[in-house]
Amino acid sequence: MAFDPLLLSRIQWAWVISWHILLPAFTVGLASYIALLEGLSFATGNPAWLRASTFWTGIFAVSFGMGVVSGIVMPFQFGTNWARFSDATANVLSPMMAYEDLMAFFLEASFLGVLLFGRHLVPPWAHFVSAIMVAIGTLFSSFWILSVNSWMQTPAGFSRGEDGRFFPADWLQIVFNPSFPFRLAHTVTAFYITTGFVVLGVGAYLVRRAEPGSEPRLMMRMALALLAVLVPLQMLIGDMHGLNTREHQPAKLAAIEGRYDTAAPAPLTLIGWPDDAAAIMRYAIEVPRLGSLVLTHSWDGEIRGLKEWPADQRPPVAFPFFGFRVMVGIAFAMLAVVIAGLVLWRRGRLFETGWYLRLCQWFAPLGFVAVLAGWITTEVGRQPWTVYGHLRTEHSVSPSLTGADVALSLAAYGIVYLIMFPAGIAVMIGRIRAGLSLRAEPRDPVEGLQSRAPVKAPPPAAE
Amino acid sequence: MFDFLPIWIVILGLAVFFYVLLDGFDLGVGILYGFAPAEDRPLLMNSIAPIWDGNETWLILGGVGLLAVFPLAYAIIIPAVYFPILLMLLALVFRGVAFEFQFKNPAIRRLWRWGFCLGSVLATLAQGFVLGAFVQGFRVKGRDFAGTSFDWLTPFAATTGVALLLGYALLGAGWLVLKTEGHLQDWARRMGRICLLGVLAAIAVVSLWTPLADPAVAARWFSWPNVAFLAPVPVLTALAALAAWRALNGWGPDAGPFLWAMLLFLLSYLGIAISLWPYIVPRQVTVWEAASSQGTQAFLLIGTLFLLPVIAVYSSWSYWVFRGKVRGDVGYH
Ligand code: HDD
Ligand code: HEM
Ligand code: HEM
Residue A438's pLDDT band, with cuts at 50, 70 and 90, is low
Are the C-beta atoms of residues A76 and B63 closer than 8 Å to each other?
yes
Q: Is A277 on the interface with B (CB under 8 A)?
A: no
A350 with A422, same domain: the answer is no
Q: What mean pLDDT comes out for the span A163-168?
A: 88
A-chain CB neighbours of B314 within 8 Å are 106-107, 110-111, 133
The CA distance from B99 to B105, in Å, is 16
For chain A, percent of residues with pLDDT exceeding 90: 50
A363 versus A266: which is more confidently predicted? A363
Total domain count, chain B = 1
Residue B152's pLDDT band, with cuts at 50, 70 and 90, is confident
Total domain count, chain A = 2
A375 with A416, same domain: the answer is no
Q: Choose one of A362, A382, A397: the last residue of a domain.
A: A397
A252 with A386, same domain: the answer is yes
Instruction: Answer yes or no: is pLDDT of A162 > 90.
Output: no
The CA distance from B328 to A253, in Å, is 63
Q: Which atom of ligand 2 is nearest to the CA of A21?
A: 1
Q: What mean pLDDT comes out for the span A415-427?
A: 91
Residue B1, pLDDT score: 58
For chain B, percent of residues with pLDDT exceeding 90: 33
Residue B221's pLDDT band, with cuts at 50, 70 and 90, is confident
A424 with A332, same domain: the answer is no
Instruction: Answer yes or no: is pLDDT of A455 > 70.
Output: no
Residue A460, pLDDT score: 41
Q: What mean pLDDT comes out for the span A384-395?
A: 90
Ligand 1 neighbourhood includes A370 CB (under 6 angstroms) = yes
The CA distance from B109 to A54, in Å, is 23
Nearest CA distance, A273 vs chain B (angstrom): 39
Residue A417's pLDDT band, with cuts at 50, 70 and 90, is very high
The CA distance from A221 to A342, in Å, is 9
CA of A379 to the centre of ligand 2 (A): 5
Nearest CA distance, A347 vs chain B (angstrom): 42
Instruction: With respect to residue A8, please indicate whether it lies within any of the assigned structural domains.
Output: no
A121 with A221, same domain: the answer is no
The CA distance from A420 to A423, in Å, is 5
B233 versus A460: which is more confidently predicted? B233
A373 with A406, same domain: the answer is no
Instruction: With respect to residue B110, please indicate whether it lies within any of the assigned structural domains.
Output: yes
Are the C-beta atoms of residues B151 and B138 closer than 8 Å to each other?
yes
Instruction: Answer yes or no: is pLDDT of A457 > 60.
Output: no
A244 with A390, same domain: the answer is yes
DSSP codes, B71-110: HHHHHHHHHHTHHHHHHHHHHHHHHHHHTT---SSHHHHH
A391 with A426, same domain: the answer is no
Q: Choose one of A360, A377, A397: the last residue of a domain.
A: A397
Instruction: With respect to residue A156, please indicate whether it lies within any of the assigned structural domains.
Output: yes
**What are the CA-CA distances from residue A280 to residues A48, A284, A316, A381 (Å)?**
58, 9, 12, 17
pLDDT in tens, B291-310: 888 889 889 998 888 888 88
Rounded to a whole number, what is the largest CA-CA distance in chain B? 68
Q: CB-based contacts of B232: which residues, under 8 Å, 6+ apart?
A: none
Q: Which residue of B has its CA nearest to A170?
A: B295
A301 with A320, same domain: the answer is yes
Whole-model pTM: value is: 0.89
A300 with A431, same domain: the answer is no
**Angle at the Cα of A352 (from A351 to A358), degrees rounded to 5?**
75
Smallest CA-to-CA distance from A50 within A118, A110, A119 is with A119
Instruction: With respect to residue B162, please indicate whether it lies within any of the assigned structural domains.
Output: yes
The CA distance from A139 to A24, in Å, is 10
Ligand 1 neighbourhood includes A377 CB (under 6 angstroms) = yes
Instruction: With respect to residue A183, please indicate whether it lies within any of the assigned structural domains.
Output: no
A288 with A375, same domain: the answer is yes
CATH number at residue B131: 1.20.1630
Which chain A residues in 396-415 lie under 8 Å from chain B, judged by CB atoms? Answer: 398-402, 405, 408-409, 412-413
Facing residue for B324 by CB, picked from A73, A83, A452? A452
The CA distance from B329 to B181, in Å, is 7
Q: Is A171 on the interface with B (CB under 8 A)?
A: yes
User: N- to C-terminal Cα distance for chain A?
Assistant: 48
Q: Which residues of B173-202 are buried (b: 16+ CB within 10 A; e: fewer)?
A: bbbbbbbbbeebbebbbebbbebbebbbeb
Instruction: With respect to residue B263, please indicate whether it lies within any of the assigned structural domains.
Output: yes
Q: Which residue of A has its CA nearest to B330?
A: A457
Q: What mean pLDDT comes out for the span A206-215?
A: 85
Instruction: Answer yes or no: is pLDDT of A454 > 50.
Output: no
Instruction: With respect to residue A189, please indicate whether it lies within any of the assigned structural domains.
Output: no
pLDDT in tens, A2-42: 688 899 999 999 999 999 999 999 999 999 999 999 999 88
Q: Choose one of A397, A412, A434: the last residue of a domain.
A: A397
Q: What mean pLDDT comes out for the span B191-200?
A: 92
Q: Is A462 on the interface with B (CB under 8 A)?
A: yes
Ligand 3: which residue has its CA nearest to atom 30?
Answer: A75
Ligand 3: which residue has its CA nearest to atom 19?
Answer: A71
> What range does the domain containing A388 cover?
194-208+216-397
Q: Which of B9-13, B50-54, B315-319 has the highest mean pLDDT?
A: B9-13
pLDDT in tens, A365-377: 999 999 999 999 9
The stretches of A168-214 forming alpha helices (DSSP H) are 171-175, 180-208
| A456 exposure class (CB count in 10 Å sphere: 0-12, 13-18, 19+) | middle
- Whether A95 sits inside 8 A of B100 (CB atoms) is no
pLDDT in tens, A211-241: 888 888 899 999 999 999 999 999 999 999 9
Residue A283, pLDDT score: 83
Instruction: With respect to residue A321, please indicate whether it lies within any of the assigned structural domains.
Output: yes
Instruction: With respect to residue B90, please indicate whether it lies within any of the assigned structural domains.
Output: yes
> Looking at the CA of A143, which ligand is closest?
3
Instruction: Answer yes or no: is pLDDT of A458 > 80.
Output: no
> What range does the domain containing B203 cover?
5-321
- Whether B71 sits inside 8 A of A73 (CB atoms) is no
Beta bridge partners of A287: A268
Q: What's the whole-number average pLDDT of chain A?
A: 87
Residue B191's pLDDT band, with cuts at 50, 70 and 90, is very high
A164 with A240, same domain: the answer is no
